[in-house]
A and B are shown apart, each in its own frame.
Chain A
Amino acid sequence: DTGVSQDPRHKITKRGQNVTFRCDPISEHNRLYWYRQTLGQGPEFLTYFQNEAQLEKSRLLSDRFSAERPKGSFSTLEIQRTEQGDSAMYLCASSSARDNAEAFFGQGTRLTVV
């Protein structure tokens, strides 16, 4: 296993279109996290899963955003009716479920809404 994998690396979309990103975590990790990072800022938490259960969602996650992890393995993050303000780097991370487990990040998906 080579680490957390995200696809695509880059996505350019027109305002109003829907986009979906995929994250494949490290195989033995049962926690999966989504973060969003804008230029010049640190990543901001969006949501996380333990196995297939979505345990927490940030208030940043508007109703246009939905995340799934149907079989407790890979996850998808969908943004409906994209807006220019959605332009950001979307990062996925995974960790084990033990206390203070280290989180490992993927390379991110850079979304540009034009």
Chain B
Amino acid sequence: TQLLEQSPQFLSIQEGENLTVYCNSSSVFSSLQWYRQEPGEGPVLLVTVVTGGEVKKLKRLTFQFGDARKDSSLHITAAQPGDTGLYLCAGGDQGGKLIFGQGTELSVKP
């Protein structure tokens, strides 16, 4: 069974701080996707990484896919209250099915 372990589960920081969320697995995935979800809404896609070692930047967010395509990280620089939400990593197989981590609940206080 493929599993994705996401850490930390909860993170509460002050505006302006940096943070990193980790997503680890013993399985190899074809792709890894990061989503952000707000209460009562569906997940919104942030980025997809497919190549081992790949790094993608989205404004203050930096995503990295591990060389072996088993793990990933999300780094946020100078967090803002608008970054508050549930961050989900999801590993994809060839059929497109996603295996999700349990999520990281981020709270950024002004």
Set A42, A103, A106, A107: member contacting B96, Cβ < 8 A: A103
- Annotate B87-110 by CB proximity to A: 1 below 8 A, 0 otherwise: 010101011111111110000000
- Annotate B30-53 by CB proximity to A: 1 below 8 A, 0 otherwise: 110101000011111100101000
| A41: chain B residues within 8 A (beta carbon) | 102-103
A35 to B90, CA, bound (A): 12
- Annotate A42-76 by CB proximity to B: 1 below 8 A, 0 otherwise: 11110010000001100000000000000000000
A33 to B48, CA, bound (A): 17
| A108-B42 in contact (CB<8A) | yes
Chain A residue at smallest Cβ distance from B86: A42
| B90: chain A residues within 8 A (beta carbon) | 42-43
| B42-A107 in contact (CB<8A) | yes
| A102-B48 in contact (CB<8A) | yes
A: contact size bracket: 20 to 34
Chain A residue at smallest Cβ distance from B40: A110
Set B6, B31, B33, B95: member contacting A56, Cβ < 8 A: B95
| A91: chain B residues within 8 A (beta carbon) | 42-43
Set B41, B44, B97: member contacting A48, Cβ < 8 A: B97
Q: How far is the CB of A76 from chain B (nearest CB, A)?
A: 18
| A103: chain B residues within 8 A (beta carbon) | 33, 45, 92, 96, 98
| A33: chain B residues within 8 A (beta carbon) | 96-98
| A99-B97 in contact (CB<8A) | no
Given contacts A42-B90, A48-B95, A100-B31, whether A108 and B100 have CB atoms under 8 Å apart is no
| B103: chain A residues within 8 A (beta carbon) | 40-42
Show the binding face of B for A, using Cβ within 8 Å.
4, 6, 30-31, 33, 35, 40-45, 48, 50, 88, 90, 92, 94-103
Can you name 9 A-B pairs with beta carbons within 8 Å? A40-B102, A42-B6, A45-B97, A48-B95, A56-B95, A103-B33, A103-B92, A105-B35, A108-B42
Closest 5 CB pairs of A and B: A42-B100, A105-B42, A100-B31, A108-B42, A107-B42
